[in-house]
Structure 1
């Protein structure tokens, strides 16, 4: 990893795709220690830089601010970082290991690399990013015809991660809901979990009750001995 960036502790609970002041408040009040703001126009959760800045300001000092981008170039990242002053960059596209390292070095911020998982082969491919990114995020691999790489509400076989053997801490994502997140944590024991569509009533529309239920389930799972 590039020198000069302080190690980052993984968020226990990240709620992603927040696009309104209310949803940011709901997430933080429920106990989320990280909120995700999406800059990717095909996503129903996309926020423009001016809105991103306002949402980030609401969370600053209360939860870590994660900026999610998909194959963004340096010019776009510069604009977004200047607007939102995030604590962490989440790269959710096809960024190579070299690109992850370059972004980390250029912007002086920790980087979380999202990786799509469907098979054991995908887990093996993900090993290339171990010790390159500060955090990893394992998400369900999208279908080939998908218009966006995440937030699709799909799960994958969690057993693939029962003994992953990664040095870099990882978060679990992909189809998590208040109903299944406890089982997911028990099976995988990730450093944290990341949810978006699982706390929505429609794509991009967060629900306060679902956020609270999800956070409560995560808290309860953390109080349960490992199996």
Structure 2
């Protein structure tokens, strides 16, 4: 059963819509250079408003472990996602406290050795995460059978079908369901989640 992960949520109303439409998790961008960044205190208010059956994910890039842990606790998050060039020892330090997703940007076919990184799930993204830039699905083939592979990069409600047919662990979308960076379109969000749900999947929303 495929989960769906939607990144870039900054507003309570978007998180509540995702929860209402069956989202498995929401996540929050904690990368200061991102247009979708908000401080941990902002996300804490959203976390408190959500119910107990939706997971909160924090997205970081090249942030030292102690700073990640402080932000995770302040924002009341449950899963950490790393999107930079973090060394494996940083991941190991974080996994002592939270489950971990590690994202890698693809500029060609996936390197099978990425599966050796110490993480609980592996995400493959486009060269410019959050830009809507995709890549050929053939690039996933070396890691297609990874037990917790998350596919990201250029996904929309309209092009989601071929990705779901691969039956990854999860799919990830940000700009593909937005009106503007950090502002979700209710129509696109619902269409994306319904497409995943209609495939017999579980829905996860991030960011």
Same fold flag (TM > 0.5): yes
Cα distance change of structure 1 residues 52 and 104 upon mapping to structure 2, 3 Å threshold: same
Residues 1:151 and 2:151 are matched in the alignment = no
Shift, 1:84, TM fit: 2.0
For residues 161 and 59 of structure 1, what CA distance do their matches in structure 2 show? 34
Residue aligning to 1:177: 156
Residues 91, 170 of structure 1: alpha-carbon distance in 2 compared, 3 angstrom cutoff: same
SS of 1:222's partner is coil
Superposed displacement of residue 125, structure 1: 4.3
Please say if 1:114 is aligned against 2:93: no
Contact kept? 1:117, 1:141, Cα under 8 Å? yes
Shift of 1:165: 5.7
Change (3 A) 1:92 1:13: same
Q: Distance in 2 between matches of 1:85 and 1:117?
A: 31
CA RMSD in angstroms, aligned pairs only: 1.9
Contact kept? 1:137, 1:171, Cα under 8 Å: yes
Larger Rg over CA atoms = 1
1:105-162 Cα offsets, whole Å, 9 max, x none, are 2xx1110001112212x43342332xx20011111123xxxxxxx2111111112224
Which residue does the alignment assign to 2:173?
A: 195
Is 2:195 the counterpart of 1:217?
yes
Summarize the alignment of residues 69-148 of structure 1 with structure 2, pairs less than 5 Å apart. Answer: 69-105=60-96, 108-120=97-109, 122-129=110-117, 132-142=118-128
TM-score (norm 2): 0.89
Structure 2 unaligned residues grouped into runs of 5+? 202-207
Contact in 2 for aligned 1:38/1:69 (Cα 8 Å): yes
Q: Which has the higher contact order (CA 8 A, sep 6+)?
A: 2
Kindly tell me the number of residue pairs found equivalent between the two proteins: 201
Any unmatched runs of 5+ in structure 1?
1-9, 143-149
